[in-house]
Amino acid sequence: MTNAAEPPARPEPATMPEPAGPPARRRATRLIDIAAAAGVHVSTVSRVLNGDPALSIRPETYERVLSAARAQGYRPNALARALKQRRTGALALVVPLLRNPIWTRLQHGTLQQARERGYVVMIMEEPTEDPRPPGDYRYLVEESRVDGLLLATALRVPEHHALIKAIPHVYVNRRGPDPGNDVVMDEATAVQRFVDYLAGLGHERIALIDGPAEVDTVHRRVAAARRFCAARGISLSVRHAAATEEGGWDAGLRMLRLEPRPTACGVGSLNQLFGLTSALRSAGVDVPGGMSVVSFDEDECLAFLEVPVTSVCMPLHDLGQAAVDALVARIEGQPAADVMIREPIRLLERDSVAAPSGGRPARPVPLPRRPGRRAAG
Amino acid sequence: MTNAAEPPARPEPATMPEPAGPPARRRATRLIDIAAAAGVHVSTVSRVLNGDPALSIRPETYERVLSAARAQGYRPNALARALKQRRTGALALVVPLLRNPIWTRLQHGTLQQARERGYVVMIMEEPTEDPRPPGDYRYLVEESRVDGLLLATALRVPEHHALIKAIPHVYVNRRGPDPGNDVVMDEATAVQRFVDYLAGLGHERIALIDGPAEVDTVHRRVAAARRFCAARGISLSVRHAAATEEGGWDAGLRMLRLEPRPTACGVGSLNQLFGLTSALRSAGVDVPGGMSVVSFDEDECLAFLEVPVTSVCMPLHDLGQAAVDALVARIEGQPAADVMIREPIRLLERDSVAAPSGGRPARPVPLPRRPGRRAAG
DNA sequence: CTGTTAGCGCTTTCAT
DNA sequence: ATGAAAGCGCTAACAG
């Protein structure tokens, strides 16, 4: 197919009509091509281009090589290099592809830092339904497609110890089964900001609506909330639900039936927040008059809602960056060490929080119909 | 470092304390290892494992090879294979990492179809500020990291023809400079549904709020809207703004100042929708009483907003799938051909649209302050 | 100062 | 019905 012999020189017209057939892809220029052009050996070219410090070369030759490379628009073949060096320069990021915008910020931080460290990132999807054990992504390393795994899968399943031990990996935004490979944010401090803020306003009954208890971040938030509330003598009710609008709606209704009803509530995700807000509205509960609301997901849209929602803003970009650093350290054989991102965690005050109103709610909670959709057109 | 000679057999204790040093990564099993185990030549193993049809082999040998491979948990080295075959089995998807959830659906479709076709996908970020010409991603192909490019970058810059011609690529959700490489959705039909729906209700003055005119989807929506409105004798006002909450807010206010004021309006993105809704609320314009609203971005949260928003739902998942198919076709040398995804495009009726009210709005538009945030904690 | 050489792990044509 | 051998493009140890 590809013939080593030079085909007879056929001048390439500057503006030739696109040949319709299979695009005869031009073979990329190789080290050997520029070696020929510069009249030196390939190994010399390699050394020059990689800036081998142990190389002494006369400036003239050096220049000749460099300009030949530039002239031919040389690009090293990452495959061949990786094969030889036993490292690919690629990382895989495994995310649950949820609609939640926090993943965008995480991806952004990851991609940026990877580029900084000279890696490219391959993003893999974790099926949302029927999530697979993290070990199922081993093959990416085993096939030498990537040097390591950034596992941002959500579930905390204690089963698969050692499925993955042998290959470089880091758990992002969750704790994995093996210590020393976790990169997480300081959820406890986030919760503390939340509790302190509400306690300062005089709230004494707080609710926390969050995702399934098996999700590691949820687990840590709930644990921290129990601790801080207990310390302050505040009563805490936790409601778990799917991290969707419907989940938020359901959990919200369940919360409203509590006696006595909480005066403030935190929500674990943006999607749940929409459901919760909708439920409160349908139930005729005023925000923040009848219920103060705080989101643990920051997003720009919160400022534009009917009543702008106060949130705790987490350092997801930094999390992504730190995860890359930690993984690269693992790849380079440095000792394992967990990482916790502590800053910046800020409470963004908007209009959804107020001091608790004295009495009980004016009217009992009706059971409204959940919003649906009707197709047309 | 890695010695070919077998080290003296050291029984591996079942539960040995993790050695702390640099993890002596176990070298993956190679073709040659299982060849040795099965007592055949590597080439035979290769043929067996790849199911070479032209191979006749006695069943016994065949079984021996297969079970040896299975026993050793053999994984082909993708690098070496790619080097030999001159194809990597990887694609790159270049997306502007916006918060907009439509990208999630696109990524999902892309990843799913890629897996179906035996490819892995490397997702690259297009810097949102200072977007780069698509040609800047050539290097991924030139370095043999991927076989082709899925370019879902947003901007329509007519400059860089032929920067990219030579390498397999496809433009996703936008048209590129070279014909035959576009995979887009039928925005015209989406707009038609929108116009038909409103016209049917009696609206005669419609507005369209959308992203910058240089964005290709915006361009096509606007062109279609002008056409359909003209055909029906409906007056159309278009307002371009950044695809953010603030952009939607600004454009919304600009729209409200029109005389006579439109009675219905379409919005190009979810983020703009939040801004627009907020602006309408601040201006005291009732939805749908004073203004009907339709979103061109579908998202589950729309059903849970203060007034649930009617939307046109685009086939983004299918778009991602089709893009992969088109790119793989290009890679395999099939002739170029543009693709348009026409189905399913559905109008999801919710509560934000009503027949136009007769008179003019009760009160003039004040100029409210844009929502902001105040940091605390 | 620069060239020679030996692979990295795999596929594939050509011989037996 | 199977083995030998060449080579993908690059790097690195060793020679001169």
Q: How confident is the model at residue B129 (pLDDT cuts 50, 70, 90)?
A: confident
The reply to whether the CB atom of residue B84 sits less than 7 A from any atom in nucleic acid chain C is: yes
Asked if residues B126 and B157 have their Cβ atoms less than 8 Å apart, the reply is no
Tens digit of pLDDT for each residue in B318-347?
Answer: 999 999 999 999 999 899 999 999 989 999
The answer to which of A112-126, B16-30, B192-206, B275-289 has the lowest mean pLDDT is: B16-30
Residue B290 half-sphere exposure toward CB, CA atoms < 13 A: 19
The residue whose CA lies nearest the C1' of nucleotide D13 is: A43
How far: B64 CA to C11 C1' (Å)? 21
Q: What is the mean pLDDT of residues B79-99?
A: 92
The reply to whether the CB atom of residue B83 sits less than 7 A from any atom in nucleic acid chain D is: yes
Distance CA B60, CA B82 (A): 30
Tens digit of pLDDT for each residue in A55-89?
Answer: 778 888 888 999 999 998 899 999 999 999 999 99
Which of B18, B111, B193 faces A377 most closely, judged by CB atoms? Answer: B193
Q: How confident is the model at residue B25 (pLDDT cuts 50, 70, 90)?
A: low
Residues of chain A (35-74) having a beta carbon less than 7 angstroms from strand C: 39-44, 47, 55-58, 61-62
Q: What are the tokens at A346? A: 């800020």
Burial of B144 (C-beta count, 10 Å sphere; 0-12/13-18/19+): buried
Q: How confident is the model at residue B374 (pLDDT cuts 50, 70, 90)?
A: very low
The residue whose CA lies nearest the C1' of nucleotide D8 is: B84
Three-class DSSP category at B85: helix
The residue whose CA lies nearest the C1' of nucleotide C1 is: A57
Q: What is the mean pLDDT of chain B?
A: 86
The residue whose CA lies nearest the C1' of nucleotide D12 is: A43
pLDDT reported for residue A127:
78
What's the Cα-to-Cα distance from A374 to each of A29, B9, B311, B347, rounded to whole Å?
Answer: 58, 69, 11, 9
Q: How confident is the model at residue A2 (pLDDT cuts 50, 70, 90)?
A: very low
Which of A196, A300, A349 faces B244 most closely, judged by CB atoms? Answer: A300
HEC sequence for chain A: CCCCCCCCCCCCCCCCCCCCCCCCCCCCCCHHHHHHHHCCCHHHHHHHHCCCCCCCCCHHHHHHHHHHHHHCCCCCCHHHHHHHHCCCCEEEEEEECCCCCHHHHHHHHHHHHHHHCCCEEEEEEECCCCCCCHHHHHHHHHCCCCCEEEECCCECCCCCCCCCCCCCEEEECCCCCCCCCEEEECHHHHHHHHHHHHHHHCCCEEEEEECCCCEHHHHHHHHHHHHHHHHHCCEEEEEECCCCHHHHHHHHHHHHCCCCCCCEEEECCHHHHHHHHHHHHHCCCCCCCCCEEEECCCCHHHHHCCCCCEEEECCHHHHHHHHHHHHHHHHCCCCCCCEEECCCCEEEECCCCCCCCCCCCCCCCCCCCCCCCEEEC
User: Which residue in B130, B301, B327 has the most chain A C-beta atoms within 10 A of its own C-beta, making it the best mutation to test that interface?
Assistant: B301
Three-class DSSP category at B17: coil
* Chain B residues with beta carbon closer than 8 angstroms to that of A312: 377
Tens digit of pLDDT for each residue in A223-253?
Answer: 999 999 999 999 999 999 999 999 999 999 9
Nucleotides of C under 7 A from a protein CB: 1-5, 7-13
* Chain A residues with beta carbon closer than 8 angstroms to that of B21: 333, 335
The residue whose CA lies nearest the C1' of nucleotide C2 is: A44
CA angle B267/A305/B236 to nearest 5° reads: 20
Q: Do A28 and B374 touch (CB under 8 A)?
A: no
The reply to whether the CB atom of residue B54 sits less than 7 A from any atom in nucleic acid chain D is: no
pLDDT reported for residue B317:
96
Which of B271, B371, B374 faces A349 most closely, judged by CB atoms? Answer: B374
pLDDT reported for residue A10:
30
pTM summary value:
0.87
Q: What is the mean pLDDT of residues A201-219?
A: 95
How far: B63 CA to C16 C1' (Å)? 24
Q: Do B26 and A371 touch (CB under 8 A)?
A: no
The reply to whether the CB atom of residue B83 sits less than 7 A from any atom in nucleic acid chain C is: yes
pLDDT reported for residue A96:
87
CA distance A77 to chain B (A): 5
Residues of chain B (10-49) having a beta carbon less than 7 angstroms from strand D: 39-44
Which of A77, A168, A304 faces B274 most closely, judged by CB atoms? Answer: A304
Q: What is the DSSP letter of B350?
A: -
